[in-house]
Chains A and B, each alone.
Chain A
């Protein structure tokens, strides 16, 4: 989405955020339907979507949302009990609203009608489907028979309320519309003239209001400012009218009880929201990418400067170069920090997935998460979505047993899935743990042998065996379900992780469950690399993959056509002569070096002419024209402005292992 000034784009973005919030709230509601705060939050979110929807011409959205909102209004007033079923319908409604906003042309009106019909059936004859009114359904209609009561409403807005678009005069007008109102300003907090800032509000208001509407109607006036303001609503005269509106509501205590403590109870949540909207700005992702590119170029230019400065005798020049180096690196770190987003964003989406899958498969699932505040590069988070969806589906579909089977195995009927994220060094670990039946080693083995993925009788550790799952075309599910078992997917998961320079580990205990751990780099934009020379070309090997550097024994060197294996502390490690692979024409260096790299717990040696040293690398992806070249994952620009290619370790290791397997088989 471009960051242009199109207000409908702004609406779309805001609506998307609201819908995400709404989803979380509704999911909470499915568990604790009797939480009135959640009902209120739902109502507010729906109300905002409806209001801004009609403001920006999304009439379909406004019309549909109105019905859902009306239903929740009834719940809020206690006329309809909140149930998990209603929350489910609302979730479906939420999806429909999203469709209406994002793809209005493909949204199916029949689907919307079906949702409304279900809604109608659930809330019953309480007029949920009354004709949609335009924007201001804010003041709900109360029972007309309620007697008039006198209320004293005192309120003070935060001093900066005008800056957030709140207009106290409109609030007072709205109060007036409820009945007979006498408004007195409270001037006691006005500062001295020299300290007075005309854009701040220092006046409070005291309104004596005579109305036949219940107290909730008065509170509704302040619905959108309630969290930040001071508000006191008390009955004047005899207490009798207070009980009257409560009595009008069938659900006891619920509507009245939470209203009074609400301003006090909510700040915990709302202050964080306020901070979020006040302390941050929305920036199109594209601009961040551009910024990162520029900073990358700056770092490259700076390293060239550093080289020249190192050769120079000019002390002043050197000190400026050092200063610029410091600034450039700080700027790089700051920019990378800007791109970091908490993984909570991603985890949040899975609650819905788990909720839906549990319903679909008839399993009971409890999803817990930890480490949601862990930050990862924005691009990594975006690309992780699909693999994680797949892994979670697999855990639920294959891992967790049905409630009956769980009981037979002596476990709780409710399965447990835990998502966690944490930092270790420059990696982020994300793990998905389930307490299901664990992986079936025998079946994986049989299946892998059947497909020729491993040799019959081949010795393998558990973790090696589990890696087989990620081979293309592998699936042990005897029955292909809607969700998984088609054998596509796990290899896609693996490929995505490879592309992100991450790795994946599986640990599984039969009968106890499985833990899948993804290891990911913090950022994609920069890696630490080992710069090597092969012939005349310089190449970068990702440092994270490097295990050690050794000299190639002269014996091995002479055996050009012999077996390409190296004995490293008793371990047979295949090696690849990169000079041959890259068709180097210059005479080889006298002492060839071997850089031992590993991926997926497999090792391979790369024979190079010279190990130059470590090199921090800004990764530039290769163009589509070179997409077919699997040996390289990208390119970088060296200090002298030359382009150097980054070796794709996964590809090279796989090639080395193929040779090893062929040799072992022969």
Chain B
């Protein structure tokens, strides 16, 4: 696995989505914000349905829970926005990720990181980079670029479907 090759350990940020623990490479994270007003984008892809203001920038907000086919629960006092940069068609794009709770930045030793098993996974394996063990729990490290590559295709599909009802209305 390329992710920790040459390195002894991987620094990750751990977070909770619908009671499940996940991890993100800490190097990718720009900042963590409290939940702010989210503007809905009618006709946008379902999991990318919001826009937020991050220091004067308009940033799309992704709800990963929808990507993992979880039923989203309403926001709580623990809800946070994780701001990360992703590479989209060769362009750096800032994106916000909605998390039910953000825990800590921690190191995972190379020994505890394992390849994603092809079977027996609760989530679509292509979004998971590897599995790590941390204080007795298994934690899936997200392959965040892959999630948004998919999002791109979903966006195209979503707009196709929104224009259809309009024609029905006529």
What residues make up the interface of A, taking CB atoms closer than 8 Å to B? 293, 296-297, 300-301, 537, 564, 580-583, 620, 622-632, 635-637, 640-645, 655, 658-659, 662-663
Which chain A positions have C-beta within 8 A of B41?
Answer: 626, 629, 632, 645
Contact A631 to B169, CB < 8 A, known contacts A620-B58, A643-B53: no
**Residues B166 and A642 in contact, CB atoms below 8 Å apart:** no
Which chain A positions have C-beta within 8 A of B36?
Answer: 641
Which chain A positions have C-beta within 8 A of B58?
Answer: 620, 622-623, 635-637, 643
**Residues A627 and B166 in contact, CB atoms below 8 Å apart:** no
Which chain B positions have C-beta within 8 A of A644?
Answer: 39
**Residues B53 and A641 in contact, CB atoms below 8 Å apart:** yes
**Residues B51 and A581 in contact, CB atoms below 8 Å apart:** no
**Residues B51 and A645 in contact, CB atoms below 8 Å apart:** yes
Which chain A positions have C-beta within 8 A of B60?
Answer: 622-623, 625-626
**Residues B166 and A626 in contact, CB atoms below 8 Å apart:** no
* Contact pick for B53, options A296, A622, A642, A645, CB 8 Å: A642
**Residues A300 and B89 in contact, CB atoms below 8 Å apart:** no
Q: CA A139 – CA B43 in complex, angstroms?
A: 71
Q: CA A9 – CA B121 in complex, angstroms?
A: 53
Which chain A positions have C-beta within 8 A of B48?
Answer: 625-626
Report if B66 contacts A (CB, 8 A): no
Q: CA A260 – CA B107 in complex, angstroms?
A: 81
**Residues A300 and B56 in contact, CB atoms below 8 Å apart:** yes
Report if B98 contacts A (CB, 8 A): no
**Residues B170 and A658 in contact, CB atoms below 8 Å apart:** yes
What residues make up the interface of B, taking CB atoms closer than 8 Å to A? 36-37, 39-45, 48, 51-53, 55-60, 88-89, 91, 93-95, 148, 151-152, 155-156, 158-159, 163, 166-167, 169-170
Q: CA A301 – CA B41 in complex, angstroms?
A: 23
Contact A625 to B159, CB < 8 A, known contacts A580-B169, A642-B37, A642-B39: no
**Residues A637 and B152 in contact, CB atoms below 8 Å apart:** no
**Residues A631 and B43 in contact, CB atoms below 8 Å apart:** yes
In the A-B complex, the 6 residue pairs with the smallest Cβ-Cβ separation, listed nearest first, are A297-B56, A582-B42, A628-B159, A643-B39, A659-B170, A620-B58
Q: CA A645 – CA B42 in complex, angstroms?
A: 10
**Residues B170 and A625 in contact, CB atoms below 8 Å apart:** no
Q: Which residue of B is nearest A631, CB measured?
A: B43
Q: CA A492 – CA B166 in complex, angstroms?
A: 25
* Contact pick for B158, options A624, A628, A641, A642, CB 8 Å: A628
Which chain A positions have C-beta within 8 A of B52?
Answer: 643
**Residues B45 and A625 in contact, CB atoms below 8 Å apart:** yes
Which chain A positions have C-beta within 8 A of B91?
Answer: 624
Return B17 CB to nearest CB of chain A, in Å. Answer: 19
Pairs A–B under 8 Å by Cβ, sample size 7: A297-B56, A300-B56, A620-B57, A626-B41, A629-B159, A635-B39, A641-B36
Contact A645 to B151, CB < 8 A, known contacts A624-B88, A625-B88: no
